[in-house]
Structure 1
Amino acid sequence: MTSDHQDFVTVPSPLVSNNWGILELEAESAAPATASEAEDDAATNPEDAYDAGDVNSGYGDSLVSSTKSLTASVIDYVYENGRRYHRFQAGKYMMPNDETEQDRLDIYHHFQFLSLRGLLYTAPLKGNPHNILDCGTGTGIWALDMGEMFPCAQVIGVDLSPIQPTWVFPNVKFEVDDLELEWTFKEDYFDLIHSRNIAQSIRNWPCYLRQMFRSTRPGGYVELAETEAQLHCDDGTYAGSNLERYMNNFWKAGTKAGLLAPDGNVLRQYAEEAGFVDVEIHYYKQPWGAWPKNAEMKKIGETCALAIGKGGFEAYAMALFTRYLDMSAEDVVALCRLAQADVGGKRVHTYQIMWHVTGMKPEDD
């Protein structure tokens, strides 16, 4: 990021801007810890979205083209190093889908809810939306919240893993699909297409945005929410930490896998090249751990630490580090525990930047 942020939308915050345009956090004082202590801490018809299709409670019975119904092969999961992964397009997405990960995803949803101060989206929608798409829906919690907020809207959640609930609101539907395959949704259809933390499965972002543009109705919006693949620290506590060692490995493995999230400016570029207009970047500072003095940011950091403590470090690292860095599963677990101790112990004061990039499809003349 640069010091020139006139193109960014500033989010109201109790924090003070520093000289490069982000925000400074003041840490609570914490007693130093020894290495041994760190280790110890360690309403519309759902089928209208398609040219053909049907729906049951939660999942579609018959889907066209690349959209897959729930067959035995889809739910025949892959098990690796003690974690469970998706079978459909096996190996493409590096994150597990087991119960531990599902719990983490739900906590992470609350973490994002706190960061956005109670908002589910930042796009300036015009009126109540009728058709909403959630890309990489995970447990489906965002889609379900949107379905409850807009009971007259149809909400579709898409994911590689069928881990969503089967009994849902009548206006919410889930599909098992690979978002990098050709989309089968109708053209000019969705009022909002939402995509959050999907960098671990998208390799061709320009194509992804072009498909979004095609399926967004004129006047509709896209919202892309991604985090940096690096952490920031303003007081030097990050340098030389186990957390820094973990993140350096994550950067190296993610680079080899081609799965690092583009930053906000690159996402904006992709959105504009796809045809979206009025593209804005909303950025949020998210502390890792309960070290900030500010009460609001402390709560956000506590929730982040809770999500990490629910297997977050291991979820991001196990497949990436073992497949691309040739680390053993035991070494990955050991590093994850040390990094987690840095966050939980409030001795390392780091934060990440979360981007929400919004853009509108031009309205018809």
Structure 2
Amino acid sequence: LIVHGFQDSEPSVASLSSSILEYQRENGRRYHALSRGKYVLPNDEDENNRLDLQHELYVRTMHGELALCPKAQGARNVLDMGTGTGQWAISYGMGTTPHFPTIPCMILGSSLVGSPVTVCNTDLEPAADLHPEAHVIGVDLSPIQPDFHDSISQPIASYGTRDDSRPAYADSVLSAAHLSVPPNLNFEIDDLEKEWTWSHKFDFIFARMMLGCFENLPAMMKVAYDNLEPGGYIEFQDMALPARSDDGTLDPNSYLSKWCDACLEAGQNLGRPVWPVVEYKNYLADAGFECIVEVQKKWPTNTWPRDSNFKELGMWAYANIAGSLEGLSLAYFARGLGWTPDEIRVFCAHTRKDLKDPKIHAYWPIYVVYGRKPFDA
């Protein structure tokens, strides 16, 4: 594990700095230390479990693929921006796609309405091709990757109160997602908004769930462009706000709609807007990319769809969002809107009811956008 950007690092890179453990504590949750305050989601165990679950949700959404661009296989130098718990980077480095054990819908969905749905039970499925030739770097503000857990003698405790609706399976099941770190993967703790100092360029840069992470996302795309080899690809997988419904069952005045509006307002107030995912293709074009492709997917908010595939995705999406709604909201709304913790928790309770209501046929729009740096660039 490499740590960048701390004053006690000489020269600016250290094997492991105690500074990264000086976490910020806020409203019962724990947050990153490097570039304090930039990222509004926690880095405690509850949130890390959610990130592992979210990785599984994305892989299922992509029908088992880690990426959709041509560099989904065959890349040599790969960068995973905002790697989180590192599950995507580990999976790419190993050439495997991790899946959680079989979980009935009623447990995973925390009493969601609908008949039980069985999730496929496959521990490790080989990807289309193994990637032993790839060198993967995963970068994040928080040292929450398996390499880091192996580097300290004491476990990181979980701070904060678990949401009441959070599925009880989380601690036991999600631990299965923590894979061994392959030798062709390195995790680095760094701030991507600072100067990139890698001595080589990449042929594949991957980023997922970057909503509200960057002050200037189009500028970050240009930085990525400059750090790609000619012919290299960048791919974004992101969720768009607000939630939508195609049949009008999501009322603009519902708590779910208001929660989405609050996220957009908070991001704007904090100087880190939720950049519109529908514009990603234009941002990539402005940065110089070509052969840009946009693929749209959907995450139902619960198990309301009749289609079995969408019902299953809705089950996972409900656990991902509703099961951790307070963690997604506390710092965002407190810092960005000035709300009190009690106000946020009450608001989340109302929002969770909307997320659980099968009469509201809402979904989260999911976009995959990728582009290529010209060969003659």
Q: Which amino acid aligns with 2:145?
A: Q
- TM-score normalised by L of structure 2: 0.76
Which deviates more from structure 2 when the two are superposed, residues 247-256 or residues 76-85? Answer: 247-256
Match of 1:184 among 165, 185, 197: 197
Given the alignment of the two structures, is residue 285 of structure 1 paired with residue 298 of structure 2, yes or no?
yes
Q: Which amino acid aligns with 1:137?
A: T
Contact 1:130–1:154 at 8 Å: present in 2 too?
yes
Q: CA 1:64–1:81 in structure 2 vs 1: closer, same or farther (change >3 Å)? A: same
Q: Counterparts of 2:233 and 2:53 in 1: how far apart (Å)?
A: 26
For 2:71, the equivalent position in structure 1 comes to 125
Given the alignment of the two structures, is residue 151 of structure 1 paired with residue 132 of structure 2, yes or no?
yes
Q: Counterparts of 1:88 and 1:122 in 2: how far apart (Å)?
A: 32
Q: Which amino acid aligns with 1:344?
A: K
Match of 1:116 among 44, 62, 65: 62
Give 1:248 deviation, angstroms: 2.3
Given the alignment of the two structures, is residue 175 of structure 1 paired with residue 188 of structure 2, yes or no?
yes
Q: Which amino acid aligns with 1:158?
A: V
- TM-score normalised by L of structure 1: 0.78
Q: CA 1:323–1:284 in structure 2 vs 1: closer, same or farther (change >3 Å)? A: same
Aligned length in residues: 305
Q: Which amino acid aligns with 1:112?
A: Y
For 1:60, the equivalent position in structure 2 comes to 2
Q: Which amino acid aligns with 2:55?
A: H
For 1:30, the equivalent position in structure 2 comes to none
Give 1:211 deviation, angstroms: 1.4
Instruction: Using the aligned pairs only, state the percent identity.
Output: 35
Q: Counterparts of 2:11 and 2:87 in 1: how far apart (Å)?
A: 26
Q: Which amino acid aligns with 2:2?
A: G
Contact 1:242–1:338 at 8 Å: present in 2 too?
yes
Give 1:266 deviation, angstroms: 2.2
Alignment of 1:1-365 (within 5 A): 59-60=1-2, 69-125=15-71, 128-149=74-95, 150-166=131-147, 168-187=181-200, 189-239=201-251, 240-311=253-324, 313-364=325-376
Q: Counterparts of 2:82 and 2:25 in 1: how far apart (Å)?
A: 21
Give 1:287 deviation, angstroms: 1.2
Cα deviation, 1:43-89, whole Å, max 9, x if unaligned, reads xxxxxxxxxxxxxxxx1378887666531111211110011000110
Question: Secondary structure of 1:73's match?
Answer: helix
Question: Secondary structure of 1:293's match?
Answer: coil
Q: Counterparts of 1:72 and 1:171 in 2: how far apart (Å)?
A: 25
Question: Secondary structure of 1:304's match?
Answer: helix
Q: Which amino acid aligns with 1:358?
A: Y
Task: Give 4+ residue runs of structure 1 displaced > 4 Å after superposition.
Answer: 61-69
Q: Counterparts of 2:73 and 2:240 in 1: how far apart (Å)?
A: 32
Contact 2:266–2:336 at 8 Å: present in 1 too?
yes
Q: Which amino acid aligns with 2:56?
A: H
For 2:150, the equivalent position in structure 1 comes to none
Q: Counterparts of 1:292 and 1:215 in 2: how far apart (Å)?
A: 42
Which deviates more from structure 2 when the two are superposed, residues 91-100 or residues 198-207? Answer: 198-207
Question: Secondary structure of 1:74's match?
Answer: helix
Gap runs ≥5 in structure 1: 1-58
Q: Counterparts of 2:332 and 2:73 in 1: how far apart (Å)?
A: 42
Gap runs ≥5 in structure 2: 96-130, 148-179
Cα deviation, 1:153-203, whole Å, max 9, x if unaligned, reads 11110000000001611111100011111101235x212100111222211
Q: Counterparts of 1:282 and 1:218 in 2: how far apart (Å)?
A: 23
